[in-house]
Amino acid sequence: MRRVMWGALLVLAALLAGVTACSSLGASRIAKKHPAGQSFFTANATRLHAAHVAAPAGADLPPLVFIHGASGNLLDQMIPLRPHFEGRAEMLFFDRPGHGWSDRGPASNASIDGQADTLAALMAEVGISRAIVVGHSFGGAVAAAFAVRHPDKTAGLVFLAAATHPWPGAATNWYYNLTVTPLIGPLFSQTLALPAGLSRMEQATACVFSPNRKPDAYVADAAIELVLRPANFRANAADVEGLYRHVLKAQPLYAGIKAPTVVITGDRDSVVLEEIHSFGLARDIAGAELVQVRNLGHKPEWVAPELALAAVEKVAGKPRDLQALARSVEARIADDAYGPPERCKEDKPDPK
């Protein structure tokens, strides 16, 4: 009996070692496929990967700072939005701590407030004293925290499909909860997370875009696979798993935000509940303009970058009719019906 037991344990150990080796090899391949393409800065004792676009001559917009969501990196906003602001503003795109090619840094970066403070330090490092902050999904929570904690540095806010308020049930996907569990979580991230994530990457990202069309090369161009590397996976899981606890405490503070604000959301978001988050922001921040677009999913910066551009312009004080532009976007995407709808539920507040 003991021999059988020891034999089974040896087989299990060999299997785990094999899966771990395969996962490590896969992570190395992902890193080689998507190398760091921008510069590195040190801010708040954190080595951060960022793209800093210097202020152009004759800039007609204030500096802009972009905060990506969960499971992403700076490319997720830089690819669709940088071309629209090129030559008009100083820009800063960065991998949040623990994402992309940025280190996780000190323990404070495991909190949304800590990431907001690290962003403030990064802005000081590159010479930006005040900026319009554009936050997508989880990045919206960081943007709101930044405005609360650093109002002097906040020239305006643009929220894109933001995740900022407590949602019913407080649930997130099971694998985030598993990953933050002691002992089991690190083992999961080192073994099964990467192959499982690769197997469902295309479907999962199609759902994030649904009902709108996901660009064919989105996963490769935006280097989304980087999140499957073990350290990134754990940081991402910790961020998402802690989001509810953060917004529960943060929501009452939003009323103190005085910066001009635009909130953009779709009515077909399968990732966050727009009636909770975006509607909540428009209610809590005095003077905020809510722009809801029919048949738009969770990726307004990719599907309607012209609307994000106009929102930034309006926050900067330029006259823009965002509601009219939203109707124009609706006409363009009215027939969109992409993604596997039976697998893309609209009741999961799980920020990507």
**How far is 232 from 215, CA to CA, in rounded Å?**
24
Radius of gyration of the chain (CA): 20
What does the pLDDT look like over 31-45, one tens digit per residue?
Answer: 999 999 999 999 999
Nearest to residue 351, comparing CAs of 233, 239, 185? 239
Long-range pairs, 325-328, Cβ under 8 A, ≥24: 326/291, 326/292, 326/293
SS3 96: coil
Of residues 17 and 20, the one with the higher pLDDT is 20
What does the pLDDT look like over 253-279, one tens digit per residue?
Answer: 999 999 999 999 999 999 999 999 999
Are 149 and 117 in contact by the 8 Å Cβ rule? The answer is: yes
Structural domains for the chain = 34-343 (3.40.50.1820)
- When pLDDT is averaged across residues 45-57 and rounded to a whole number, the result is 97
SS3 43: strand
Angle between helices 138-149 and 112-126 (to 10 degrees): 70
For residue 241, what pLDDT is reported?
98
For residue 351, what pLDDT is reported?
43
Q: How confident is the model at residue 178 (pLDDT cuts 50, 70, 90)?
A: very high
What does the pLDDT look like over 281-305, one tens digit per residue?
Answer: 999 999 999 999 999 999 999 999 9
Look at strands 46-53 and 91-94 and give their pairing.
antiparallel
Q: Tokens in use for 39?
A: 């510069």
Amino acid at 156: G
SS3 156: strand
**How far is 137 from 128, CA to CA, in rounded Å?**
23
